Amino acid sequence: MSGALGPFLLKRLALSLLTLWLLSVVVFFGCQVLPGDPARAILGPLADPRAVAALNEKLGSDRPPVEIYLSWMGGLITGDMGQSYAYRSPVAPFIGSALVNSLKLAATVFAIVVPLGIGAGVLAALRAGRPIDRLISVAGLSLTVIPEFVSSIALILVFAVLLRWLPLSASWPAGSGPLVQLQHLILPALPLVIVLFGYIARMTRAGMVEALSADYTRTAILKGLPWRTVLSRHVLRNALLPTITVIAAQMGYALGGLVVVESLFRYQGIGSLVLGAARAKDFAMLQAGILTVGAFFVVTTLLADIVTTLLDPRLRTGGRR
């Protein structure tokens, strides 16, 4: 750890904070300014103007936008995310439990797709140009473009309706152990695995091919190191750096994909929370849900940058040269 690393990370942290702040402005603009009149949007075009005015006052949306924004930000800092219009209770507890559920689903997705994608990418690179390489890239490319709801239907048909191997619903009976929970999570996780597999495999393959043809690999081989050591200490270490960034970027995408998957499998996560809030025009909930997704993405990207920096020997020893 040296001097070069500190300022770099500080700069990244400052950029992340700036992104978070801009994100809050964008989300606020979308939820408060764009609808024009939140109470009118909730009550519909035929509602009594007095009822609209009363609801606007109750929601606090009759104040100037800047004032609403400041009080919203003030609340966020103290952990108060506002009141849900649809549930008539504070938003924060809903966000918390939904986020935990979504993270369980996301963890299942990544526990399956990361080893699978990296394994396939490494295999493809080691057998570059052979049929197995072409099979992996064609499969990856064509699976990546299939929308989650399309692959979900195919998976439901095969595994829940025809074979009856996996339960259709993602929500498990209350008090189920982790194994039963996992069994319920596999089917909803697979559509996202299908979408993400191609990206991870492609990035890994590209990184591997580059590392395999690099000078340091040739040097390591010529030094007489065993192939296993060359592969694990020289090739993989360098090849997987870009893959880590891609995996982190896909975390954010996965949370977006969860909107579709969670609603299809009726799973109480952040995605179905955002969708439900959108359908009920529950703007406080929508605002908090979307900001949570965005914040999550910003944090994973930052973490990926930090991990990449720590793993990259060039960046790590930069200050000592």
Partner 1 sequence: MSEALPLTEPAPGLAREARTRGVVGRLLRTPSFLIGITILLFWAVCAVFAPSFVPYDPYADDLLNTLQPPSAEHWFGTDQIGRDVFSRVLVGARAILTIAPLATLVGTVAGTAIGLITGYFGGWVDAIIGRLLEVMLSLPLIIVALLVLVALGPSTPTVVVVVGLVFAPLVARTVRAAVLTERHLDYVAAAAVRGESAPYIMSVEILPNITPPIIVEGTVRLGYAIFTIASLSFLGFGVQPPTPDWGLAIAENYGVLIGGFWWTVVFDTAATASLIVGVNLAAESLQRALAE
Q: Are 277 and 217 in contact (CB under 8 A)?
A: no
Stretch near partner 1 under the rule CB under 8 A, chosen from 28-36, 71-79, 87-95, 111-119 = 28-36
Q: Are 106 and 261 in contact (CB under 8 A)?
A: no
Task: For residue 194, give every residue at least 6 positions away whose Cβ sits within 8 Å of its Cβ, in sequence order, or none.
Answer: 143, 144, 146, 148, 151
* Closer Cβ to partner 1, 21 or 216, answer by number: 21
Which x/- pattern over 125-154 shows residues binding partner 1 (rule: CB under 8 A)? ----------------xx--xxxxxx--xx
Token duo for residue 17: 């904070």
Task: State whether residue 44 is helix, strand or coil.
Answer: coil
* Closer Cβ to partner 1, 207 or 294, answer by number: 294
Q: Does 163 bind partner 1 (CB under 8 A)?
A: no
Minimum CB separation of residue 290 from partner 1 in Å reads 6
Q: Which of residues 250-279 bind partner 1 (CB under 8 A)?
A: 252-253, 255-257, 259-260, 263-264, 274-275, 278-279
Minimum CB separation of residue 225 from partner 1 in Å reads 36
Minimum CB separation of residue 124 from partner 1 in Å reads 17
* Closer Cβ to partner 1, 201 or 255, answer by number: 255
Q: How far apart are CA 50 and CA 46, in angstroms?
A: 12
* Closer Cβ to partner 1, 16 or 183, answer by number: 16
| Neighbour tally for 203: CB within 10 Å | 24
> Which own/partner pairs from 244-248 qualify as long-range (CB within 8 Å, at least 24 positions apart)?
244/304, 244/307, 244/308, 244/311, 245/304, 245/305, 245/308, 246/199, 246/200, 246/203, 247/110, 247/114, 247/200, 247/304, 248/300, 248/301, 248/303, 248/304
Residues that bind partner 1 in the complex, under the rule CB under 8 A: 18-19, 22-23, 26-27, 30-31, 34-35, 41, 141-142, 145-150, 153-154, 156-157, 160-161, 168, 252-253, 255-257, 259-260, 263-264, 274-275, 278-279, 281, 286, 290, 293-294, 297-298, 301
